[in-house]
Chain A
Amino acid sequence: MEPTLNRPLRRSFVKGLLGTTSFWMASGHASWAAALAAEATQPYQPVFFNGTEYRFLEAASERLFPADHNGPGAKALGVAEFIDRQMQTPYAHGENWYMSGPFQQGPANLGYQLPFVPRDLYRKGIAGVEHYARQHYGKGFSDLSAPHQDEILTALEGGSVQLDEIPGRVFFEQLRTNTLEGTFADPLYGGNRGLGGWIMLGFPGARADFMDWVNQEGAPYPIGPVSISGETA
């Protein structure tokens, strides 16, 4: 039998994170552990995104990865929190992207050529979608019905919408990628709460030892996931 999601998602585990091994304290993960532990007892307060932007993130990521018969959606999994936390990392500043000019556009297959790093894409992209939503539907994105939200996301994905300086498709892909990262990354980064993403997928997390399960003739792996911090489900 496969492991299933058999109890409420919880976040109290992070309180114990700082009590783990000395190796853990020395590792690059320690700052994340500290941040998560400090936040564990109160609702997450976004740092990079303002209230409207954060509500957009919660609403849009939930449409991309909705709660359904398979299990929790992006909102319950903490995807918006994950993305806000990522905005405070070197990644959000494009620190391993080549960002020297000139910036010249070309065929799509030659790749990303905009002068914007992830922080810019979100700030400009969300403003653009909010503007588009008010223009076409008379309300902000997070106040729209799910079908209307889906219409907007479909239009962005299809490439028919330009959000001022940013092609709608570029913003959509950034949002989709980070949403799925927040769904399935180790809970250390603020998403995948209660290992809910991994449970749905049948991914056992940090177990990382399958010597006895190389070939069991197609039987499902029997043990549920564990996170890097030791949280199990």
Chain B
Amino acid sequence: MAKTHVDAIVVGAGWAGSIMAKELTEAGLSVVMLERGSERTTPVEGAYPESIDELRGAVRKRLFQNLSQSTVTIRNTMDQTALPYRQLAAFLPGEGVGGAGLHWSGVHFRVAPEDLRLRSSVIERYGEKFIPEGMNLQDYGVTYEELEPFFDKAEKVFGTSGEAYKVQGKIVGNGNVFSPDRSDNFPLPAMKDTFSASIFRDAASNAGYHPYALPAANASRQYTNTYGCQMGPCNFCGYCSGYDCYLDSKASPNVNILPVLRQDPGFTLIPNAHVLRVNLDSTKTKATGVTYLDTKTRKETSLSADLVILGAFQFNNIHLMLVSGIGKPYDPLSNTGTIGRNFVYQTITSSRVWLPSSSYTNQFVGAGGAGVAIDDFNSMNFDHGPLGFVGGSPVWVNQAGTKPIAAATGAGGGGTPRWGSAYKDALINTYKHSLGIDAHGSNMAYRDVYLDLDPTWKDVYGQPLLRMTFTWKDNDIRMNQYVVSRIEPVARAMGATKMNLVHLDAGQPFDTRNYQTTHLGGGAIMGENPQTSALNRYLQSWDVSNVFVIGSNAFPQGMGYNPTGMVAALAYWAAHHIRTTYLKSPGPLVKA
């Protein structure tokens, strides 16, 4: 490529990168976006019937990170040897233009305001001693009120469907009573309840809980977003998670931002460009650009820039910071350093409820973001005092479209046959007559749960793999058990003939072999203190002020909600402050 210098480099073509690139080109900057995966344009690749092939899609993992090139190592505890994550299972990062934003489901939450100041909130209500030893509970350093305009902006880009509760102080609808005030309604009405979601809504309501329609970046109607990009109405085909949407109904960078951004002469997207490192000057306080490898030609290119935005997947941002020497790596023994600190996940279990054989749940019908949830056991919405744990879980029926291979490989076990004629009986009955209820919970940060570089294994480019040290902790296991216990009476009221309530067991280690969620977080968190956060409240590196790191890596702890809505709002928040303050006078936006 001819250019050797641009105003800004954006690493990663997912939601975070695409939002930042859009905002920076709007500000008049020349922007190069580097994506290590391939080009992906949904009108071609997402077309029917190509896109709805389960084997080629979710099973052979068409849109996910190719681990043969780069992966992570994982161990549960610091005294173990971490081993490579050789096959995709527990989490499924995306790769290619659109990133995980192409294959996501579309659940599009804001944030529970108290989750942004969870440490302060817990201390105010229960005192500092309530926080378990070794838990790094922290505030984000930003408030819901500050972020609200950016949540609103993101929803209007994503074409989010939902039902509001409160707009400008007035109760306007049957939305989530625990949700905070909004400046405006959702751009689209809520998605319809599936049969399974509708009976959950009734049962939860009768039990005294407060059901609401999940906010979904699945378009309930035709929609033209603020950029002029168009979405078609969702038809509940059931191919969201793991797929690109053939109707352009599910928001993705590919559908909602890039069609416009690609037309901007100030914007260049380079796929198959694997960024090897961010280059720093001799003081290690200023980035000079990046060096990337063209994965097709294996040619290395260095590109200089005034501003570098890391918008790769959560752990890939941490990896880039560590291999580039941005900030000080976290050391759990001395409890110093910040890069890799507060690595978090989510605590999610799926329970199953069987209805009478006269009721068909038609589980292939669905939309990734549609469903009915309750927040009665999420965030600080209930009294944790007698329960003695921090955190919570929304509980929901989110019928996203269950495909047959996934249903079949996951059926059986836990004392029931996994093959043979009895297995067939159970599989068919389960597919036709059951539904899932998820406890989609928070995960707290701990001193000995973190990310660093592996001493042994390397990626195909010769760089050390990122090492995860992660397991379930007592606080989060007890939170999960409590919330799952609250599902039982609701399930009974739904007319359950049988139920399988699934929760974590005490002492159960994290298992990399089964899908749980791709909602990884933390590792380069935002905060108010450079000793305990990698980024300031504008997601700017405390150490290298012309590097901003955008993504769920900024979350100090894993929240109960799906992260994409928060990531998008943080991206718009950071971009706003770059545009209005940083570009006029580049340098730290907060004094360290």
Contact = CB atoms under 8 A, between A and B. Distances in A.
Do A and B bind? yes
Contact of B54 (A66, A107, A109, A185): A185
Given A70-B425, A211-B235, A215-B192, 4 more contacts: A96-B68, A102-B456, A109-B511, A181-B55
A106 B360 contact: no
A51 B55 CA distance: 26
Interface in B184-231: 192-195, 198
Interface in A188-233: 188-189, 197-198, 200-204, 206, 208-211, 213-221, 228
Nearest to B465: A98
Contacts of B403: 203
B361 A111 contact: no
Given A216-B195, A218-B195, A221-B360, A210 B83 contact: no
A99 interface: yes
A100 interface: yes
Interface stretch (A22-30, A42-50, A121-129, A134-142): A22-30
Interface string A1-42: 000000000000000000000010001110000000000000
A119 interface: no
A77 B357 CA distance: 26
Contact of B358 (A186, A188, A197, A218): A218
Contacts of B80: 106-107
Most central of B74, B404, B418 by chain A CB within 10 Å = B404
Interface stretch (B286-294, B427-435, B539-547): B427-435
Contacts of A177: 409
A191 B428 CA distance: 18
B49 interface: yes
A176 B365 contact: no
B364 A98 contact: no
A63 B87 CA distance: 27
B318 interface: no
Interface of B: 47-50, 52-56, 59-61, 64, 66-68, 71, 74-76, 80-89, 192-195, 198, 233, 235-239, 246, 355, 358-362, 364-365, 403-405, 407-409, 418-421, 424-425, 427-428, 431-432, 456-458, 460, 509-513
B513 A98 contact: no
B195 A64 contact: no
Given A208-B239, A210-B238, A215-B192, A228 B365 contact: no
Contacts of A27: 50
Given A211-B235, A220-B360, A111 B85 contact: yes
A132 interface: no
A221 B362 contact: yes
Contact of A99 (B86, B236, B432, B456): B86
A66 B420 contact: yes
A113 interface: yes
Instruction: Indicate the size class of the contact surface on chain A.
Output: 35 or more
Contacts of A102: 456-457
Contact of A180 (B66, B75, B83, B409): B409
A63 B420 CA distance: 6
A208 B418 contact: no
B86 A70 contact: no
B566 to A, nearest CB: 28
Interface in A67-109: 68-70, 89, 91, 94-100, 102, 104, 106-109
A164 to B, nearest CB: 21
B49 A208 contact: yes
Nearest to B511: A109
B56 A70 contact: no
A106 B360 CA distance: 43
Contacts of A201: 404, 407-408, 427-428, 431-432
Interface string A153-177: 1000100000000000000000011
Most central of B59, B71, B233, B510 by chain A CB within 10 Å = B59
A201 B76 CA distance: 38
A150 interface: yes
Interface of A: 23, 27-29, 63-66, 68-70, 89, 91, 94-100, 102, 104, 106-113, 150, 153, 157, 176-177, 180-181, 183-186, 188-189, 197-198, 200-204, 206, 208-211, 213-221, 228
A64 B423 CA distance: 9
A186 B360 contact: no
A210 B55 contact: no
Nearest to A110: B83
Contact of B53 (A69, A94, A150, A228): A228
Contacts of A198: 404
A97 B236 contact: no
A110 B80 CA distance: 11
A94 B66 CA distance: 11
A158 B128 CA distance: 48
Given A109-B510, A157-B418, A218-B359, A203 B364 contact: yes
A130 B164 CA distance: 63
A62 B421 CA distance: 10
Contact of A97 (B52, B67, B193, B457): B67
B48 A186 contact: no
Contact of B83 (A106, A211, A214): A106
A111 B83 contact: yes
Nearest to A157: B418
A92 to B, nearest CB: 11
Contacts of B405: 180-181, 184-185
Nearest to B359: A218
A97 B362 contact: no
A214 B512 contact: no
B50 to A, nearest CB: 5
B419 A210 contact: no
A206 B359 contact: no
B365 A210 contact: yes
A184 B431 CA distance: 13
B504 to A, nearest CB: 13
A177 B64 CA distance: 19
A204 B195 contact: no
Nearest to B458: A100
Nearest to A96: B66
Most central of B81, B82, B419, B509 by chain A CB within 10 Å = B419
A28 B192 contact: no
A175 B75 CA distance: 28
